[in-house]
Amino acid sequence: MDSLSRRRFLRISAATIAATSATAGVARLAGRAAGEGGPARGLHTVPTFCDICFWKCGAMAYVEDGKLWKIEGNPADPLSEGRLCPRGTGGVGAHFDNDRLKAPLIRRKRRGDDEWVQVTWDEALGHVAEKMQAIKATYGPEAVALFSHGLGGTFFKHTIRAYGSPNIAAPSFAQCRGPRDVGFHLTFGEEVGSPERTDIRNARCLVLIGSHLGENMHNTQVQEFAAAMDAGASLIVVDPRFSIAAGKAKHYLPIRPGTDLALVLAWMHVLVTEGLYDREYVAQHGFGFEAFAAELAPYTPEWAYPETGIEPAVIRETAREMARFRPATLVHPGRHATWYGDDAQRSRAVALLNALLGSWGRKGGFYAPTSMDVPGYPYPDYPAAPLGKVDNPGGRYPFALETLTTGIREATLTGQPYPIKGWFTYATNLVTALPNEAETIRAIQNLDLLVVVDVIPGEMAGWADVVLPEATYLERYDDLNVELFREPFVALRQPVVPPPHDQQPNWWIARELAKKLGLESYYPWKTIEEYLEFRLTKAGLSFAELKQKGILRGRPQPIYYEDGLTPEFPTASGKIDFYSTALRDKGFDPVPKYTKPADPPSGMFRLLFGRAPVHSFGRTQSNPILHEMMEENELWLNADVAARMGLADGRYVRLRNEDGVVSNRVKLKATQRIRPDCVYMVHGFGQRAVRLRRSLGRGASDAQLTTRYKTDPLMGGTGMNVNFVAVEAEA
Amino acid sequence: MARYGMAVDTRLCVGCMDCVVACKTENRVPEGFDRDWIAYETAGTFPALRQEIRSERCNHCDNPPCVTCCPTGASHVDGFGQLVLVTHNACIGCKACLASCPYDARFVHPQGYADKCTFCVHRVKEGLDPACVSVCPTHCFTFGDLDDPNSAISRKLASRRSHPLLPAAGTRPRIFFLD
């Protein structure tokens, strides 16, 4: 038995001296006026929506005597149903984090030297505008790229487009969900989207392939996962690690890392050869089924056994289990899908498996999301960008649906197809989000300007020329959230309390920069309230009502074929592409084929990484409340292997990768809950940003060890689970 | 008079610690302390493993040793819901209750008194669930009156197998973990 003792849990952080508890933070802010018209005394609530991850759950913030107290889910919100996840519940800590950015900064010395001068907003934005105009004069406006994550980037995208650059990217495509969305797009003509259109709550059989719901805390999905478990759904979990979800599974398949596609092909082989698939659905909606079925012939469970380590009888039994409950069998598409470089084809195989089960468009499978019709603001047209986008020259990755961050990085390094001289980042830490940080830092050193907008001074801010401190989500308006979901709704983020220092909201920063760039005409509105009210009025909605309720729900629409929704498949064939002519025409496999992954070199382990429920990426480790919930990550190593290596549970180790990169020290979790050929850690730790005193040097960074990556030839995603590490005892 | 208790469905709990965070903010629990916590138990050899995850806290025992050992009467069984509570200004911080609790549910608050879960008595009095119960994304908690046969918790306990923690301690705990 390994159990987490109460004492261990209560251990007070060594960083306590530097840290501020939430309560101490409240005391320090005493006397400051309440945000938006709340009373100075007594309790009031402000509806808003969360920004601790990208899920955007509706929330009610509680303010007592003018001070932020706590935040709960907004019961009117269909995403959260009134219950935030632990990160959202602890979101108030972001406001109190005494290490957050407080004022605009300009770099004083060499890039990366971390020496700064505090300046006014006018000076900071004037400096940025001057540099941007110089880049435009020499290289054209296309030479400035924006990297942005989340809804808060809306106005920066607007300013950068108005300036004349089309180079706007987010790591959420090429470093995360991109391959999945491409795989589904090539099959059904539509993407899975975010929030995912997975009808988990109605699934009678749920299949998770490497997806660790419960540790991965996307609120709606976890709530629906629990509801499905409570209703007795059959759960099949495929993971090299005995995840939290695995502990609830009827079937746990401890797969050899990198062989998921072999398992999915074998499952499809069983469904087709045993005639268990949805014949009617496939006949009605499918294209190229015969050619597809012929391609599956070699992929027997016996063939898959030595690849995956999963016994043929188990492969057959689980395939039959899926068939038993179809179409209410959901093979979850996952989210972070950039694993091995063949990820779009693996995701396409998952899409095809769902197609065989008839789950796309069906209750308990994938619903068709709906949204409200809220028109955008009528801005002037953006200037033409004659150089085109820089990230994917010649359509090298023909199925890239979005701009490639790593393509922009490459152009910044090579100057081809044209030079990139300015980077603007919003709420994304490219040093850890992109694989091979050395490449990222070399690219940064090629720049004339690096501007970082963020709430916290992460690694990226350390490399910046100009750092612009943003107000947290609890202190600002944002654009409306017009969500694509089970039912249409629109949500408002509004200030709960004022920013404690000289921070500003993103819309203000983007607009003031635009003014300095002579782009006033792109910001015809005077206040953000005016902008929001304009959009809502056009949609026939009341801004006053939305401010009061936080959420306005629209009329539910049919979301399943069985409710009268007309099936539409905007693919090459207009049907579900079991055989993809689009792929064939570009020289790719029209039906996914399996390629064997490399074995770990002797004495090394495949490095796997994932999520913890109390942290979002590397963005929350400095939040005093969430920090306390998990101060550092652990290295999961199979207990028998650890015993053979003489490494005791709880001691510190370091990891060395094939390129000689050595990690920060990390505590060993010697556990039965993982295969012997891989190690696992939670992403986002081992931070090196010196101004984040709580998170500095706590745990190890998988990103630092991800020096190698394998690019997906279909869409340019970067497979990152291709690094091997040795585990070395810490002296 | 009601006798409040809690059922925790271990099949649903994912150990996300939302209950811990919600308690922390609701009750302004100081840094370094928590009134509730997660216990993980894993048994077996990979890949044949079993896991139980439990959200734990003060059990508000029917036979509470923390109350019988308290020299000042600060720890008491309250008239409201038979909750085990601590009167802060009557507590001398002697820690007898910390030693007596087999669940290690108590700590000394920096202000000097013994502190622990109150089942969010201030919320329950207003007709709300405790913060941990109302925040849980998995709906793994059922809170209510154990003496009312028609309460949700009584019906849940009648329909499912469950176990309390350390029954041999004789404390008669009022939190039940559904198998």
Q: Do B43 and A1 touch (CB under 8 A)?
A: yes
pLDDT at residue A8 is higher than 80: no
The pLDDT assigned to A275 comes to: 98
Chain B residues within an 8 Å CB radius of A10: 32-34, 37, 107
The count of other CB atoms within 10 Å of the CB of residue B52 is: 19
| 8 A C-beta contact, residue A31 and residue A73 | no
- Torsion from C-alpha of A647, A255, A600, A643, nearest 10 degrees: 10
For residue A209, what are the β-bridge partners? Answer: A238
| 8 A C-beta contact, residue A192 and residue A184 | yes
Q: How many residues does chain A have?
A: 731
Strand segments, DSSP code E, in A143-244 are 144-148, 168-169, 205-209, 234-238
Mean pLDDT of chain A: 94
pLDDT at residue A17 is higher than 70: no
The pLDDT tens digits for A511-546 are 999 999 999 999 999 999 999 999 999 999 999 999
Of the candidates A3, A214, A675, the beta carbon closest to that of B46 is on A675
For residue A422, what are the β-bridge partners? Answer: A144, A449
Q: How confident is the model at residue A104 (pLDDT cuts 50, 70, 90)?
A: very high
Strand segments, DSSP code E, in A537-594 are 551-553, 576-577
Q: Kindly list the structural domains of chain A, giving each domain's residue range(s) and its CATH number in brackets, ordered by start.
A: 204-361 (3.40.228.10), 605-729 (2.40.40.20)
| 8 A C-beta contact, residue B53 and residue B13 | yes
For residue A304, what are the β-bridge partners? Answer: none
| 8 A C-beta contact, residue A292 and residue A581 | no
Does A89 touch chain B if contact means CB atoms closer than 8 Å?
A: yes
Compare all CA atoms of chain B with the CA of A615 and give the residue at the minimum distance.
B16
Six-digit token pair at A32? Answer: 């400051």
Q: How confident is the model at residue A16 (pLDDT cuts 50, 70, 90)?
A: very low
Does B47 touch chain A if contact means CB atoms closer than 8 Å?
A: yes
The pLDDT assigned to A38 comes to: 60
Q: What pTM, to 2 d.p., does this model score?
A: 0.95
Q: What is the mean pLDDT of residues A250-270?
A: 98
Mutate to test the interface with B, among A2, A84, A89 (most CBs of B within 10 A): A89
The pLDDT tens digits for A159-201 are 999 999 999 999 999 999 999 999 999 999 999 999 999 999 9
Burial class from Cβ neighbours inside 10 Å (0-12, 13-18, 19+) for residue B76 reads middle
The pLDDT assigned to A405 comes to: 98
Q: Do A229 and B11 touch (CB under 8 A)?
A: yes
Does B122 touch chain A if contact means CB atoms closer than 8 Å?
A: no
The pLDDT tens digits for B120-157 are 999 999 999 999 999 999 999 999 999 999 999 999 99
CA–CA distance, A222 with B179 (Å, rounded to integer):
20
Q: How many residues does chain B have?
A: 179
Q: What is the mean pLDDT of residues A33-56?
A: 81
The pLDDT tens digits for A486-516 are 999 999 999 999 999 999 999 999 999 999 9
3-state percent helix, strand, coil for chain B, nearest multiple of 5: 25, 25, 50
The pLDDT assigned to A5 comes to: 38
CA–CA distance, A424 with A453 (Å, rounded to integer):
8
| 8 A C-beta contact, residue A409 and residue A423 | no
CA–CA distance, A543 with A530 (Å, rounded to integer):
10
Q: Do B32 and A70 touch (CB under 8 A)?
A: no
CA–CA distance, A408 with A674 (Å, rounded to integer):
37
Six-digit token pair at A561? Answer: 């074929």
CA–CA distance, A707 with A607 (Å, rounded to integer):
12
Q: Do A223 and B138 touch (CB under 8 A)?
A: yes
End-to-end alpha carbon distance in chain B? 29
Burial class from Cβ neighbours inside 10 Å (0-12, 13-18, 19+) for residue A707 reads middle
The pLDDT tens digits for A625-661 are 999 999 999 999 999 999 999 999 999 999 999 999 9
Burial A174-193 (b: 16+ CB within 10 A, else e): bbbbbbbbbbbbbbbbbbbb
Q: How far is B102 from chain A (nearest CA, A)?
A: 12
The pLDDT assigned to A26 comes to: 31
Of the candidates B26, B45, B104, the beta carbon closest to that of A70 is on B26
The pLDDT assigned to A112 comes to: 75
The pLDDT assigned to A19 comes to: 33
Q: Kindly list the structural domains of chain B, giving each domain's residue range(s) and its CATH number in brackets, ordered by start.
A: 4-178 (3.30.70.20)
Q: How confident is the model at residue A39 (pLDDT cuts 50, 70, 90)?
A: low
Six-digit token pair at A221? Answer: 């999905």
Nearest CA to A535 among A154, A159, A168? A154
Q: How far is A253 from chain B (nearest CA, A)?
A: 8
Residues 6+ apart with CB under 8 A from B168: none
Annotate A488-541 with DSSP letters as a single string. -EEE----SS--SSS-B-HHHHHHHHHHHTT-GGG---SSHHHHHHHHHHHTT-
Report percent pLDDT > 90 for chain A: 93
The pLDDT assigned to A114 comes to: 77
Mutate to test the interface with A, among B11, B13, B17 (most CBs of A within 10 A): B17
**Residues of chain B predicted below pLDDT 70:** none
The pLDDT tens digits for A63-94 are 999 999 999 999 999 999 999 999 999 999 99
CA–CA distance, B66 with B177 (Å, rounded to integer):
22
Q: Do B31 and A22 touch (CB under 8 A)?
A: yes
ipTM > 0.95, yes or no: yes
Q: Do A244 and B20 touch (CB under 8 A)?
A: no
Q: Do B49 and A673 touch (CB under 8 A)?
A: yes
Six-digit token pair at A156? Answer: 């920066």
Q: Which amino acid is at A688?
A: R
Burial class from Cβ neighbours inside 10 Å (0-12, 13-18, 19+) for residue A487 reads middle
CA–CA distance, A287 with A573 (Å, rounded to integer):
7
Q: Which amino acid is at A534?
A: F
Three-state DSSP at A18 gives coil
The pLDDT tens digits for A552-601 are 999 999 999 999 999 999 999 999 999 999 999 999 999 999 999 999 99
Q: How far is A292 from chain B (nearest CA, A)?
A: 34
